[in-house]
């Protein structure tokens, strides 16, 4: 497994070859610019309506923009009647398809046919080769390399906008998706109209809180047929959902290679598997990191905290309750929230909550379904993690015991705490708020580690999967939607509209994405250093119950009802009883 990881990462480091789509974007962009130059410099001149309309249609197709007959006529550059005839010629030749935009069919959009895309893909390659031969290989001066040696060549590293599917989805009632109500999925909802245009079908998206999402997914699995075509699955649920028959294995629904698995962050892609088979596609790979205020650290002469001891030292130095500022915020609400925190704190001290085989980067969580797992909560390193949480209580806000996913990041965004453990998907709360004191002043680190351990960035987030009880006649279309929603082009669009999660190496390396936030480069570096790991929350079928148990027992500990050793023993006993 370690060898496979390295092979996958090495492959991801290599510059990706230009896709046919990128070649097409470069060639059409060049021809558009050339037509403008020629039209403005040569008089008299005669526009080519076929070329003008073709370029307009292809460019809009690549950008995901709606094309109507009137916009095509306008792009022809010739009198109205002539343009209408030329447009009819192109449709008759099979170059253009039209799709209804209303139930009556009186309004429709235009799209390039598969034949047109194929012809232009070949033409684009020839245009680029001619350009390189004329302007690059002959050693022309830099000024002459504008189109092929300059701006367009630089753009080959950029991921283009999503393109319209060549064939619209055919789903009665539209595409139905069940998701979590977090910022990334809300960005998808905000872009619903654009994606409806891209996939050619109406999109119905339902969003729930994390606990209600799990309940609804399980209820849906008990129905004769699924109400959803795609469902979002929290990474720790994968084993449980496979055991309950909630998810279908992807290799039975589609050709998995179409997803380009090597482009996904290794930990996120591995976490989508159970017993070696993929059951979902990473829609969000969002590690929990340490957010810290670089400006406050600089003023206090503190170094970024890389160990748990340094976290406590910095938190004590910056903790100033009299002036409304606290050292650190984290998930301490009873139940699911604190259960996650305890497991990640154990990982900070090098302790998984189950007995797993050590491997490079941590522990092997890939084959946990082979035999009954042994719980390892009540250990000396588990005690160190519990005592660390007790120490954090002294430098936390007064309402820490009710803080969960969003509540811990809000005071950080408001400047009320100096540090916070938080998922990258929550970074928009301060990165997109110019008024936030944390805007532009936040540093990102993997979890600081305890003695004898190493840094780890516990991977969270969601995969999108296909329900096992989805009607057979909807499965192929659901697979196409899955590919579209998790593509590099779609992921980049989410980020451009406010998301701060990137499950793919190619997206995190995109220059436009890098300019939006330092978080993408930081996460990519953590991935290369093998710090992104999913073993801290092992996805066994009983994990949700164990998370709940830890969240209850250690909440009692933080309230002072029981000691750390008592909490560990009780959590160990209850967790053992939860595993049949």
Distance CA 422, CA 255 (A): 35
pLDDT in tens, 39-68: 667 777 778 889 989 998 888 877 667 788
Q: Please list the alpha-helical segments (H only) found in 222-293.
A: 238-243, 266-271
CB atoms within 10 A of CB 224: 6
pLDDT in tens, 371-409: 889 999 999 999 999 999 999 999 999 999 999 989 999
| 554: helix, strand or coil | helix
Mean pLDDT value across residues 317-336 = 96
pLDDT in tens, 244-289: 999 999 999 999 999 999 999 989 999 999 999 999 999 989 999 9
Q: Is 311 exposed, middle or buried (0-12, 13-18, 19+ CB in 10 A)?
A: buried
Q: What is the pLDDT of residue 359?
A: 86
What is Dmax (Cα atoms) for the chain? 91
pLDDT in tens, 159-205: 888 888 878 999 999 999 999 988 888 888 889 888 998 899 999 99
Token duo for residue 143: 């000024």
Distance CA 142, CA 538 (A): 55
Confidence of residue 128 (pLDDT cuts 50, 70, 90): confident
| 249: helix, strand or coil | coil
Outline where DSSP puts E strands in 143-301.
175-180, 203-208, 230-234, 273-274, 277-278, 281-282, 286-293
Token duo for residue 324: 């409304």
| 273: helix, strand or coil | strand
Outline where DSSP puts E strands in 181-251.
203-208, 230-234
Q: How many CA atoms lie within 13 A of 50 on its CB side?
A: 9
Chain center to CA of 477: 21
Residue 312 has pLDDT above 90, yes or no: yes
CB of 201 closer than 8 Å to CB of 230: no
According to the per-residue pLDDT averaged within each range, which of 9-13, 121-125, 163-167, 339-343 is highest? 339-343
User: What is the 8-class DSSP label of residue 136?
Assistant: I
Outline where DSSP puts E strands in 461-529.
462-465
Would you state the torsion angle of the CA atoms of residues 262, 265, 267, 270, taken in this order, to the nearest 10 degrees?
A: -30
Which residue segments constitute the domains of the chain, with CATH numbers given? 11-157 (1.10.10.10), 175-285+461-509 (3.40.190.10), 287-456+533-578 (3.40.190.10)
Q: Is 50 exposed, middle or buried (0-12, 13-18, 19+ CB in 10 A)?
A: middle
Distance CA 386, CA 188 (A): 38
Those residues whose C-beta lies under 8 Å from the C-beta of residue 301, and which sit 6 or more positions away, are none
Residue 153 has pLDDT above 70, yes or no: no
pTM for this prediction:
0.74
């Amino acid at each position: 497994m370690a060898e496979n990881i390295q092979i996958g990462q090495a492959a991801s480091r290599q510059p990706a070859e230009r896709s046919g789509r990128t070649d097409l974007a470069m060639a059409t962009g060049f021809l558009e610019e050339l037509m403008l130059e020629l039209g403005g410099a040569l008089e008299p001149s005669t526009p080519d309506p076929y070329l003008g309309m073709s370029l307009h249609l292809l460019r809009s197709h690549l950008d995901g923009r709606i094309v109507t007959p009137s916009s095509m006529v306008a792009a022809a550059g010739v009198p109205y009647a002539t343009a209408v005839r030329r447009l009819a010629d192109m449709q008759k030749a099979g170059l253009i398809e039209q799709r209804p935009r209303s139930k009556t069919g009186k309004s429709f959009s235009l799209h390039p046919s598969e034949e047109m895309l194929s012809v232009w893909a070949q033409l684009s390659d020839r245009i680029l080769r001619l350009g390189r031969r004329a302007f690059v290989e002959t050693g022309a001066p830099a000024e002459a390399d504008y189109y092929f040696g300059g701006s367009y060549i630089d753009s080959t590293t950029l991921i283009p906008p999503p393109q319209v599917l060549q064939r619209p989805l055919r789903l009665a009632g539209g595409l139905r998706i069940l998701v979590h109500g977090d910022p990334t999925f809300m960005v998808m909802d905000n872009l619903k109209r654009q994606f409806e245009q891209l996939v050619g079908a109406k999109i119905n998206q339902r969003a729930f809180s994390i606990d209600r999402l799990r309940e609804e997914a399980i209820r849906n699995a008990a129905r004769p047929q699924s109400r959803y075509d795609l469902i979002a699955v929290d990474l720790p649920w994968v084993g449980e959902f496979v055991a309950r028959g909630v998810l279908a294995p992807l290799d039975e629904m589609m050709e998995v290679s179409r997803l380009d698995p090597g482009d996904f962050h290794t930990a996120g892609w591995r976490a989508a598997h159970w017993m070696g088979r993929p059951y979902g596609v990473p829609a969000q790979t969002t590690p929990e990191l340490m957010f810290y205020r670089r400006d406050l650290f600089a003023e206090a002469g503190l170094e970024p905290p890389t160990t748990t001891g340094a976290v406590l030292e910095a938190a004590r130095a910056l903790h100033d309750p009299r002036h409304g500022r606290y050292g650190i915020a984290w998930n301490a609400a009873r139940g699911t929230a604190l259960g996650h925190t305890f497991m990640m704190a154990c990982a900070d001290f090098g302790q998984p909550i189950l007995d797993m085989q050590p491997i490079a980067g941590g522990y092997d969580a890939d084959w946990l379904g082979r035999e009954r797992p042994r719980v390892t909560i009540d250990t000396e390193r588990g005690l160190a993690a519990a005592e660390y949480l007790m120490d954090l209580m002294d430098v936390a806000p007064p309402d820490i015991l009710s803080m969960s996913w969003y509540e811990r990041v809000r005071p950080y965004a408001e400047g009320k705490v100096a540090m916070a453990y938080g998922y990258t998907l929550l970074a928009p709360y301060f990165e997109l708020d110019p008024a936030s004191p944390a805007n532009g002043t936040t540093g990102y680190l993997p979890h600081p580690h305890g003695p004898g351990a190493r840094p780890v960035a516990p991977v969270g987030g969601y995969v999108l999967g296909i329900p096992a009880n989805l009607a057979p006649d909807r499965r192929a279309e659901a697979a196409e939607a899955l590919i579209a929603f998790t593509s590099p082009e779609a992921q980049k669009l989410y980020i451009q509209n406010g998301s701060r999660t990137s499950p793919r190496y190619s997206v995190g390396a995109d220059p436009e994405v890098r300019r939006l936030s330092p978080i993408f480069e930081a996460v990519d570096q953590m991935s290369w250093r093998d710090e992104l790991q999913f073993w801290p929350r092992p996805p066994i079928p009983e994990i949700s119950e164990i998370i709940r148990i830890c969240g209850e027992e250690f909440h009692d500990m933080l309230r002072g009802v029981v000691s750390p050793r008592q909490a560990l023993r009780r959590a160990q006993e209850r967790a053992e009883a939860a595993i049949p």
